[in-house]
Structure 1
């Protein structure tokens, strides 16, 4: 069968409500006046990865559960506007949503509404098999019920990536994702010993590469049993929000990987895209273009 999709993104579709707060942690008070307003827009982890990949010129399809609600309408509209294929499985409980409190330095605190999923939620197996048969690669979000798709994706023969986000290296929920993926991304935020966890993922799972992002410290790449540091890239504009930086990193890394670039170059692409994402206000869902990414990579090489 012809694989006419570059990347199938599973899960992570939803809506965020953005609130700019004067500081984080936010001290208790009866009320705060929010001069910048309260903004609701489509875009959670799967949406951002799909958006980033599409902006880099890859053919993308997104699969997730969506409700017949205003939040679901925002997600559908984002995909239609950006030309991203979408298969929406009906979710009677509604579309995933969150509230993001964003501080002046761009840091965020996310409050996730977990009432919009149920343990028995599943993607139709026939749908997963058909979409997997048409793609080169699958990026699997850790949102429920994506773990159940991992065996089906392995059977299809596609390569798999995942982002464990702020895994602590111990929570068993994340392990199926960590051990089934060929490329594993995660944040160092909750890791007491990042190298130990990265090497465990590589040793016990299938990962050809494990990448741990560390914010202003850069990132770390484990490949061929060698751990290397990936330096930060100076953002092209003031940092206003870190939301979506990890997703941008993953998307640009995958662009490089699917283009046949060495892993070190893929990580450089990720650092460039992550830095760009930090300059985009949380109220917008934008991503670096392929021309912009390659131009910045050329500047870095000088």
Structure 2
């Protein structure tokens, strides 16, 4: 069977409105003047993973529900600009939207519009199956309705990854994703004991690797039953925004994983890409390229600075 797609990305397409605020949490006031502007741009988790994978030279295809609305056109335009194939299934409720408040130190507070979808929404099984059978790997966003596609992906014989984001280890919504994926990413934000949650994912599911990202404190890597700490790397320029850092980490990790690198090296790829993403304003859709990634990883391993 021909596998012409390296990674099929499911879900996570949408538009964010970016607002740079003076601080977080934002104190109550009647109004604030936002001198930097308030901007809507295409790019939610699936878009940014697809962008990161494509920038690293992986043949990437994105599948999701999109509305016939201005926000949907922004998403389509981003994929055209970046030459990332997109299969958009009509979504009568409209394209997913969010508002991201970003503080001067790059921290983010996201407000998600949960009205843009319905519990009975589905990605067409025939479409999922056809794309999966042409793919080596599938990265599944936890957005509705991607959980329903997991059995079809497994039947098609592709490996699966997912990002649980700020899962608390308890919410049952995330479990179908956590236990169906071969590679699982999540944040430590809501976890009191990251190792316990990571090991439960492995014990109850099929994950070969679990990565818990801890922002500026680095990440935890569970592979071959061994938990190791992945140090954060100093960004190559000032931190301006943490939007998309986790997506960049996941994309670079998968680049290494799909090229059969050891998990520890995959994690270094992720750390470099995540640090790079923190230097890119959220209003800009940009991702680290393969040559720069490899150069920065080599420099980090040698204890020098890539230029």
CA distance in 1, matches of 2:279, 2:162: 24
CA displacement 1:172-226 (0-9 Å, x = unmatched): 0000000000000000000011000000001110000000000111000001110
Distance 2:282 2:54 in 1: 19
TM-score by length of 1: 1.00
1:166-245 aligned at under 5 Å gives the runs 166-245=166-245
Instruction: State the SS of the aligned residue for 1:166.
Output: coil
Q: What secondary structure, in the 3-state scheme, does the structure 2 residue paired with 1:169 have?
A: coil
Q: Secondary structure at the match of 1:195?
A: helix
Displacement of 1:170 in angstroms is 0.1
Alignment RMSD (CA, Å) = 0.4
Q: Quick one: distance in 2 between partners of 1:246 and 1:161? A: 14
Mapped partners of 2:121, 2:176: distance in 1? 17
> Take 1:129 and 1:37, find their aligned partners in 2: how far apart are those partners?
42
Q: Equivalent residue for 1:157? A: 157
Runs of 4+ aligned residues of structure 1 deviating over 2 Å after TM superposition are none
Structure-1 residue corresponding to 2:141: 141
Shift of 1:298: 1.1
Q: Distance in 2 between matches of 1:92 and 1:30?
A: 35
Aligned residues: 302
Within 5 Å, give how 1:40-119 maps onto structure 2.
Answer: 40-119=40-119
Tell me by how many angstroms 1:282 deviates. Answer: 1.0
Stretches of structure 1 lacking an aligned partner (at least 5 in a row): none
Residues in 1 aligned to 2:124 and 2:90: alpha-carbon distance in whole angstroms: 11
1:213-292 pair list within 5 angstroms:
213-292=213-292
Q: CA deviation at 1:293?
A: 0.1
Aligned residue for 1:114, secondary structure, equals coil
Which consecutive residues of structure 2, in runs of 5 or more, have no partner in the other structure?
A: 303-307
Partners of 2:187 and 2:231 in 1: CA distance: 15
How far the C-alpha of 1:230 sits from its partner, in A, is: 0.4
